Amino acid sequence: MHLIITEKHDAAKRIAAILSDNKLKRERLSGVDTYEFDDKTVMGLSGHIVEVDFPKEHNNWQKTDLRDLIHSKVETKPTQKNIVTALRKLGKEADRITIATDYDREGELIGVEALNIIKKVNPEIPADRVHYSTITKTDIIKAFSNPTKIDFNLAAAGESRQVIDLVWGAVLTRFVSLSAGRLGKMFLSVGRVQSPTLALIVNREKERDVFIPVPYWELYATLVNGGEFTAKHAKGRFLDLGEAETTKEKLGKTGAVKTVKLGKRSERAPTPFNTTEFLRAASAVGITASNAMRIAESLYINGFISYPRTDNTVYPASLDIKGIISSFLDTEFHKEAEKLLAGKLVPTRGKKETTDHPPIHPATPVKRSQLKDDQWKIYELVVRRFFATFAEPTEWETVAVTVDISGEDFRANGARLIEEGWRYYYSYNKPDDRLLPELREGQLLDVKEVELASKETQPPPRYGQGHLIKIMEELGLGTKSTRHETIAKLFSRAYVHGNPIQPTKTAYAVIEALEKYANTITKPEMTGKLEQDMDKIAEGAITEDYVVNESREMLDTVFKDLSKNQEGITDSLRAGLREDRIIGTCQKCSSDLIIRKSKKGSRFIGCSGYPDCEFSLPLPPKGQIVVTDKLCNEHGLYRIKIINKGKRPWDIGCPHCNFIEWQKKLEEGTVEKKEKVSRKKAGK
């Protein structure tokens, strides 16, 4: 029997259907669905079916010496026992194995993990590997007709990441959580990629905190004569109000066109989607990085788009570009497909060219009605970007006008789209025409209105998810496959909230303590070095053991700094964490209102003036509490959010307003039973 192993169940079902021409038989083994045809069995895993972990004796955080943990051996333990059992049974019967997991570092490791389990019951079984970038009939049949060897170096690189992240994460998280007294579900996670990423967010927020706005003024004139338009004083910003007012006062009622400069501007078509650019584009249309990747993976498994984890920005010569575009002739994209096919199909090229997977592109057409709204949004984004990469530049006609008003120059710029080019296919964030009336040099214009606008300089903007992923890529933080997961983890741990991303006081406390006493953890250099070394493992240049030992030595050095400064770290963390529990000021006694726990373990907002002041407000019993920087004007309390894993954040708003609203619902009898129970547990 020929056993074929895929990364996920859905991929197994689809690949089996393709290879068998839909003549497959489903068999259930140890609770796992498998698919049989022609003496072949296709079985899907569930991602990693084993995990790396420490021996049981290191499970107790408070009793484990963290120096021992740094150099502790790491064990591999099964996480999906039913899948492991099914693998063993099938592996005993098999006379050949084909690994058909996703072709990247993680997929190679998942395949090798499965192979190692089978080799324990069938040591001599031969194994090969197939590579594909789309789960389409053409690509799958081609892949299985040309099997290759398993890349054990690539798998070793993936395994080294698991071990390094386990050791660093466990040691640093335990140290910081124990120092802060935050154990259980409220522990403070720290990691070699997570912490430098969080530091980027916190330090950007600090720049905003210390930013002092500088006032300035801009002078605008509304001009009419055959058409109305607005021109801005050539000086741009006036930093002196007196100068701006004097300039305004001297302006007469007539201006003369001094210069008219006509020109053209071209916008080159965008480059093909790699993972980073795809996630940035998805973020720009309102889909978070983690959701965009989840949706893209679903579309890939169903054969609608190519593999979404890629660094490549150059289409390979083997890609059937004309065939893909032609497949859309009978879809709602038929006009776009016809227009492209009528011209030369020469794509743009990005800076990165790799040989593992092509840039993200559509694989097969699908109807809008077959997908959910967000799925269609992502699919359409991929289709339109693919089409745009073959299009002509967008052409703009530009005009720059200078108008003299009483010896003062005012300028206006216009732009008119004259050739849509690639924007016909990819219309996201398309700028509008800025039209000016037809003007000639020497023409007199009436000054209808003059406005002196008061403005001030703005702080540096917070990071959006797409921008942050781009910076992480530039700094070597994480990989194309893990960056969105790192950001999602920061949200789930209540270190950040909102979009653009804003850090909580807890994030401040953790980063400030680490930067002061062990700032290596918050810098990208060491993590970047380890990422480069993992790439070298994949290339066969160095061994997994060498890199893992090197990382342990790095961590040893970091831990010495932490241990030496434990008292200062504890004080710093606890002071910062207390600040993150402050909701506002008690209107009864002016003491701080703080998030507290009752003797029974329920959470509530209580007055720090207790027992003299007994004012309190209830809180939901579950979820991470995020205190935002938005104040309720009526009660002077910070608005709060509740984060539960796998659910959308619950924006409670002002806890006092929320409580009043709940009491109102109680009186009206409109409170649902579930909410009553929840409030009762919260202590009200």
| SS3 per-residue string spanning 349-369 | CCCCCCCCCCCECECCCCCHH
Query: 431 exposed, middle or buried (CB, 10 Å; 0-12, 13-18, 19+)?
Result: exposed
Q: What is the pLDDT of residue 666?
A: 79
- Tell me whether residue 12 is in a domain: yes
Q: Which CATH number fits the domain that encloses residue 265?
A: 2.70.20.10
Q: Which CATH number fits the domain that encloses residue 23?
A: 3.40.50.140
Q: Quick one: 469 and 502 in the same domain?
A: yes
Geometric angle at alpha carbon 683, from 678 and 684, rounded to 5°: 85
Q: Quick one: 309 and 383 in the same domain?
A: yes
Q: Which CATH number fits the domain that encloses residue 316?
A: 1.10.290.10
Token pair, residue 620, equals: 């939901």
From CA 267, how far away is CA 367, in angstroms rounded? 31
60-68 long-range contacts (CB < 8 A, ≥24 apart) are: 61/174, 61/177, 61/178, 61/183, 62/178, 64/174, 66/171, 66/174, 66/175, 66/559, 67/556, 67/559
From CA 8, how far away is CA 114, in angstroms rounded? 12
What residues in the chain have per-residue pLDDT under 50?
673-674, 677, 679-684
Q: Quick one: 258 and 399 in the same domain?
A: yes
**SS3 label, residue 652:** strand
- Tell me whether residue 627 is in a domain: yes
From CA 468, how far away is CA 276, in angstroms rounded? 10
Please say whether the beta carbons of 137 and 18 come within 8 A: yes
Q: What is the pLDDT of residue 574?
A: 84
Q: Quick one: 418 and 290 in the same domain?
A: no
- Tell me whether residue 51 is in a domain: no
Q: Whose CA is closest to 219, among 200, 243, 195, 203?
A: 243
Catalytic residue among 307, 424, 425, 638: 307
Q: Quick one: 35 and 135 in the same domain?
A: yes
Phi, psi of 628 (to 5 degrees): -85, 180
Domain that holds residue 223: 215-269+394-456
Q: Quick one: 138 and 26 in the same domain?
A: yes
Q: Quick one: 444 and 566 in the same domain?
A: no
Token pair 């745009």: residue? 388
Q: Quick one: 313 and 410 in the same domain?
A: no
From CA 152, how far away is CA 515, in angstroms rounded? 38
- Tell me whether residue 639 is in a domain: yes
Q: Quick one: 199 and 262 in the same domain?
A: no
Query: Could you give the number of structural domains in the chain?
Result: 5
Q: What is the pLDDT of residue 511?
A: 94
Q: Quick one: 380 and 282 in the same domain?
A: yes
Q: What is the pLDDT of residue 452?
A: 97
From CA 300, how far away is CA 612, in angstroms rounded? 62
199-241 pLDDT, tens per residue?
999 999 999 999 999 999 999 999 998 789 999 999 999 999 9
**SS3 label, residue 618:** strand
From CA 466, how far away is CA 483, in angstroms rounded? 10
The reported pTM is 0.87
307 belongs to the catalytic site: yes
Name the domain boundary from 574, 599, 630: 574
Q: Quick one: 617 and 641 in the same domain?
A: yes
